[in-house]
Amino acid sequence: MSRPTLTTESGAPVADDQNSQSAGPGGPLLIQDQQLIEKLARFNRERIPERVVHARGAGAFGRLEVTDDVTSYTHAAFLSEVGKRTEAFVRFSTVADSLGGADAVRDPRGFAVKLYTEEGNYDLVGNNTPVFFIRDPLKFPDFIHSQKRDPFTGVQEPDNVWDFWSRSPESTHQVTWLMGDRGIPASYRHMNGFGSHTYLWANAEGRAHWVKYHFTTDQGVRCLTSEEAAELAGRDAGSHQQDLHRAIERGMFPSWTMHVQLMPVEDATSYRFDPFDVTKVWPHADYPLHRVGRLVLDRNPENVFADVEQAAFSPNNFVPGIGPSPDRMLQGRLFAYGDAHRYRLGVNHTQLPVNAPHATTAANNGRDGAMRFDGNGGRAKNYGPDGFGGPVQTGRPLAPGIEVAGTTGAHPPAEHRDDDHFTQAGALYRLMDPAAQARLVANIAGGLSRVSDDGIVERCVAHFHAADTAYGHQVETAVKRLRS
């Protein structure tokens, strides 16, 4: 088999890629050496800014196949008939660590799904937990700062982590998830995924429901203990990425069953707690799961940088029949995710193959910007409305509008009858068997006992007491024993 000729980036053939040009065998190197200068200059620029969160990730291509009729709830075309298949790309990730971090660590996992539908891309950007630490995006930068490396010591500090949680009682539910068995999945294949936020579905007649997404792993949930994870992370930092890659290469295609919970829109105002609060779940007894389809991953990326590192997901990428809710964290993410990609990848990142729609061609008046490589619209006008054949609006909103009223200001969320920060955390604790409860308490105490400020410890223990008396007592006792 003939091999291609090595060339410079301008296409000129390279005569020698092993020896730089010099002034004689012992002389200095020459700046005229195009191959040397080009290689070094390009090498200096190979890295793009990594994601502030979800930097360490893995991904794969596949499909979503509809298994059940949901047309009475949404007119989204990709869900329009049983048996319909839509191409998909899924990216899994840890949250807090850098691109070079280990996979087997105690951390939430990103579970981001991009569906290449005939009406454009639909991105569902969730986690492997159904809840989150905070419910207002104004607190998000502070939360992430508290979990990242301390500006003075350069390492993650227990004081910072637990101080923030102690002053954010709404985090108690998610902390209980994180410190429990599911805080360290055995692999990306063996964890569930959740849309986490509340979204809006609307059918062809305009009837709307609030919706929550669930992806249940068909491989079964498997988790690691703290000790197992520490051993695996030290032995194989890329354990989860390699597990996913090898499984697909062997033909063991991982899959998830997709369900939704559906709430009639009129239920929201009178529901016993705020259904748009991402620190809470909707009990299945109130809103049971409806099966929708099956997500299968069957193809690895040919190039990790091109597809995994450059993949750009935005909760703002909706399709007709689906829209946002007043979920405050979701509302913040509608801006923040797209803005992060415009910073990291440039304003034209939507043209990259992994991000570009498949069945449609984006037609808008956006022009110019760095790395524009699609002809930049050619002769077509770059404004609208125009009289020269440019794209026109449909006049049809993706989903019905949400009725709102009130005075502008920095308001806390509207109160509901059973709103509090601790009830669901206590319910989750009581769902665990005694052995799982013991592991949860040991994980919390292991971190909390390292905190230097007694006030932080007291506030956190008070949160666990408020969730469940036994829960709080167990944590308090374990922390005192370790601190003594």
- Let me know whether 111 and 139 are in one domain: no
Residue 101 forms part of a structural domain: yes
Q: Residue 298's domain is classified under what CATH number? A: 2.40.180.10
Measured between alpha carbons, how far is 66 from 86 in angstroms, rounded to an integer? 9
Q: What does the pLDDT read at residue 320?
A: 96
**214 shares a domain with 162:** no
Is 8 within a domain?
no
Q: Is 50 exposed, middle or buried (CB count within 10 Å of its CB: 0-12, 13-18, 19+)?
A: middle
Is residue 176 within 8 Å of residue 425, measured between CB atoms? yes
- Point out the residues of the chain with pLDDT beneath 70: none
Residues 6+ away with beta carbon under 8 Å from 182: 128, 129, 191, 221, 223
Cis-peptide, bond into residue 254, ω within 30° of zero: no
Q: What is the model's pLDDT at position 402?
A: 81
| Structural domain includes residue 177 | no
How many angstroms separate the CA atoms of 141 and 149, rounded?
Answer: 13
C-alpha span between 473 and 260 (Å, rounded): 36
Q: What is the pLDDT of residue 354?
A: 97
DSSP 55-120: -SEEEEEEEEEE-S--TTT---GGGSSTT-EEEEEEEEEESSS-TTS-SSSSS-EEEEEEEEEBTE
Local structure of residue 169 (DSSP, 8 states): G
CATH number at residue 429: 1.20.1370.60
Q: Determine the structural domain holding residue 260 and report its residue range.
A: 57-132+186-351
Kindly state whether residues 242 and 210 are assigned to the same domain: yes
Cα–Cα–Cα angle for 52, 56, 58, nearest 5°? 135
Domain end, chosen from 351, 376, 392, is at 351
Structural element, H or E, at residue 257 = strand 255-264
Residue numbers annotated as active site = 54, 127
Number of Cβ within 10 Å of residue 481's Cβ equals 10
- End-of-domain residue from the set 318, 351, 384: 351
Of 480, 484, 437, which is closest to residue 458 (Cα–Cα)? 480
pLDDT of res. 363: 86
Question: 344 vs 121, 296, 370, 443, CA distance in Å?
Answer: 20, 29, 12, 35
In this structure, the answer to whether residues 145 and 252 fall within a common structural domain is no
What tokens appear for 120 in the block? 């454009």
Question: For residue range 423-433, what is the model confidence (pLDDT) as tens digits?
Answer: 999 999 999 99
Q: Please check whether residues 231 and 151 belong to one and the same domain.
A: no
**Whole-angstrom Cα distance, residue 334 to residue 5?**
46
Residue 335 structure tokens:
């801006």
**Rounded CA separation 482/242 (Å):** 36
Whether residue 127 is found in the same domain as residue 160: no
162 and 192 fall within a common domain? no
Same domain, 140 and 267: no
Q: Which run of H or E residues covers position 435? A: helix 434-448
Q: Is the dihedral of CA 372, 373, 376, 377 positive or negative?
A: negative
Span 393-422, pLDDT tens digits: 888 888 888 888 888 899 888 888 889 999
CA dist., res. 182 & res. 41, Å (int): 45
* 201: enclosing H helix or E strand: strand 199-202
Residues 6+ apart with CB under 8 A from 77: 117, 118, 119, 319, 320, 321
CB 467 within 8 A of CB 425: yes
Per residue in 165-221, pLDDT (tens digit) is 999 999 999 999 999 999 999 999 999 999 999 999 999 999 999 999 999 999 999
Question: Is residue 108 in a domain?
Answer: yes
197, 148: one domain = no
Number of domains, the chain: 2
Cα 427–chain centre separation = 26
* pTM confidence score: 0.95
